[in-house]
Amino acid sequence: MRRKGLILVLALTTGACIQPVRSTTKATLLLAQMLAPVKPLGLLPEPRVSEVALRDGKADLYEGRSSMPGVVLVHGVAPGGPADPRIVEVARSLNRLGRTVIAPYLGLGEQRLDRTDTVRIRQSIDWMESKTGDKVLVLAFSFGAAFSLVAMEEEPGIQDKVLEVATVGTYFDLVHLLQGVTAGRVNAPGGLTDEWSPDPRAGTAVTEFLANYLGRDDEKALNAAYAAREPAGLSPAAGAIYDVMVNTDPARTRELVATLPAGLGDLIADLSPAARIDRIRVPVQAMHSRQDPAAPPSESALLVASLEAPATGRLTKVGSFRHVTPAKGLGLLKDIGPLVGFVSRVIGAQERWGLHF
């Protein structure tokens, strides 16, 4: 019996030293910590959380061990930004595995498109690489994932500090997203178009989002006009947004976006990874829900299909997420294989030989 026990210990130790086994084990523990009632990492030390200053903003820091690599965790359009409970849970779980995590505050958390968000993401990458002395993993959700790719397209040199980008529920082109919300059809690889059923509230939400770029009176008028489908009396700027949002012809979406108020159409183009995807040189791991009501899964497919060497891409599709939010209870079991595979590949990129948690 003693000999069998020794053999078992040796087998487990050897398995833990093999990178794929170690990554899969950590992925399983990480997913259980975030999603299961039983928290297997709960006995590990509580994360030490503090706020750090960036040149153009601030970020939450989850301090890990200095010997472990760092993660830049980027939120999407979520109130509170990195204080969103889903982001907090991801950060805490990664930290319990030893990672140092930095989560910048972006304008997305205030429901607005902000060009400086891409600057803040690059500053977070710089900060983390300086702290750990190693390339960082960028793990990003929804709009924040697209912004992260744009941040690297704007200054390709920053990619020398990035090991890999992992995206969840991202978009490739904001015009595609507007097209899907208004016309119910989205672009797909091969030049095809797919039907897509967005959240029924998406039209109103996007109109309100775009109305933020108008003056207060125009903002109120546009939201009221969209609700009533009555554009009479709108200013030219508000009317241009209205025309985009009530259009049902997918072939006209890009043309109408070009008529948006000065700066807004350019912003939509500039914050789309599609514009300069050839500048991406790092691997991209993408995950997307098959029935995503906020961003069509074809967007992640287009992203991966558009990457050029030396960049590589891989898409994992799941059915148990609603956009970036996982299902409750047993609904996740049907996706446990793809989920473990995705997470193990993401964290496995940072694994070194040796045992460490």
Domain match, 263 and 276 both: no
- 353 part of a folded domain: no
**Stated pTM of the model:** 0.90
Domain match, 213 and 281 both: no
Domain match, 264 and 276 both: no
| pLDDT at site 302 | 97
| pLDDT at site 6 | 42
Domain match, 131 and 54 both: yes
- 206 part of a folded domain: yes
- 8 part of a folded domain: no
Domain end point (choices 213, 233, 268): 268
| pLDDT at site 318 | 95
Beta bridge partners of 315: 286
| pLDDT at site 67 | 65
Domain match, 248 and 276 both: no
| pLDDT at site 356 | 40
Domain match, 247 and 280 both: no
| pLDDT at site 18 | 58
Contact 25, 355 (CB under 8 A): no
Closest CA to 20 of 347, 314, 357: 347
Mean of pLDDT over the chain: 89
- 323 part of a folded domain: yes
Contact 316, 285 (CB under 8 A): yes
| pLDDT at site 304 | 98
Domain end point (choices 252, 268, 284): 268
- 193 part of a folded domain: no
* Total structural domains within the chain: 2
Distance (Å, rounded) from C-alpha 120 to C-alpha 58?
8
Domain end point (choices 235, 268, 301): 268
Domain match, 124 and 43 both: yes
Domain match, 307 and 162 both: yes
Closest CA to 70 of 113, 22, 131: 131
> Which residue's entry shows tokens 């709108």?
234
- 188 part of a folded domain: no
Closest CA to 287 of 226, 216, 210, 343: 343
Domain match, 83 and 128 both: yes
Query: Which domain covers residue 337, as residue numbers?
Result: 29-173+272-348
217 membership: H or E segment, kind and range: helix 216-228
Q: Identify the segments of the chain with pLDDT beneath 70.
A: 1-20, 66-67, 329-330, 352-357
- 186 part of a folded domain: no
| pLDDT at site 36 | 77
Domain match, 43 and 123 both: yes
| pLDDT at site 33 | 80
Structure tokens given for 197:
């059923």
| pLDDT at site 89 | 92
CATH of the domain at 281: 3.40.50.1820
- 191 part of a folded domain: no
Domain match, 319 and 292 both: yes
Q: How far does CA 259 lie from the centroid of its chain?
A: 29
| pLDDT at site 39 | 82
Closest CA to 106 of 75, 83, 129: 75
Domain match, 71 and 141 both: yes
Q: What is the per-residue burial (b if ≥16 Cβ within 10 Å, else e) of 257-269?
A: beebbeebbebbb
